[in-house]
């Protein structure tokens, strides 16, 4: 796996930070990594593997991440592929919450089955949300905080190289 794409969709930046960290970890293992917003990717031909991630909003992947998988479905079926998602919902990492969060992958999993899935708690920073999103978050009872487990994210990213067979 000489060249890997990490494509992501982020609402307020937390998922982008996770994507950047995953890319950094993959670089540390000797890969060349491009980290791109999913909506800005126009060609998968340079890549030997792809990681696709999304923030979770209202129990779903963001539309641009789903569109990415739909658009490149045929190519993604020929490459080692991993999915990750970032959600404040996972701040309580109980098995029940993880199982529920794993179900959010169903729409993209139905398009292309990945070889690995990473489910990570996210971050809620009201200052990075639009006024409307702040109001929705407050009404839904969301509290501010950063629940990302960087050690777990690192371990998952490191595991990709062995899962992909490289």
Give the domain extent around 33: 3-163
Query: What is the predicted pLDDT for the residue at 132?
Result: 75
| pTM of this prediction exceeds 0.85 | yes
User: Domain total for the chain?
Assistant: 1
CATH code, domain carrying 26: 3.40.50.360
Q: Which of 127, 107, 5 is CA-nearest to residue 62?
A: 107
49-101 per-position pLDDT tens digit: 999 999 988 788 999 999 999 999 999 999 999 999 998 777 777 788 888 88
Contact 38, 52 (CB under 8 A): yes
Contact 1, 80 (CB under 8 A): yes
Q: Is residue 120 within a helix (H) or strand (E), and if so which, with residue range?
A: strand 116-121
The one-character DSSP state at 38 is G
């Amino acid at each position: 796996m000489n060249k890997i794409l990490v494509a992501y969709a982020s609402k307020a930046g937390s998922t982008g930070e996770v994507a950047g960290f995953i890319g950094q970890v993959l670089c540390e293992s000797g890969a060349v990594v491009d980290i791109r917003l999913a909506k800005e990717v126009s060609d998968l031909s340079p890549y030997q593997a792809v990681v696709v991630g999304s923030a979770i909003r209202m129990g779903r992947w963001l539309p641009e991440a789903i569109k990415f998988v739909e658009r490149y479905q045929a190519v993604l079926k020929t490459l080692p592929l991993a999915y990750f998602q970032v959600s404040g919902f996972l701040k309580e990492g109980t098995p029940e919450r993880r199982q529920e969060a794993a179900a959010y992958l169903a729409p993209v999993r139905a398009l292309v089955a990945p070889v690995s899935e990473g489910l990570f708690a996210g971050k809620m920073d009201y200052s990075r949300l639009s006024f409307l999103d702040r109001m929705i978050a407050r009404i839904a009872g969301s509290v501010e905080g950063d629940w990302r487990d960087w050690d777990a994210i690192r371990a998952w990213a490191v595991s990709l190289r062995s899962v992909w067979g490289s």
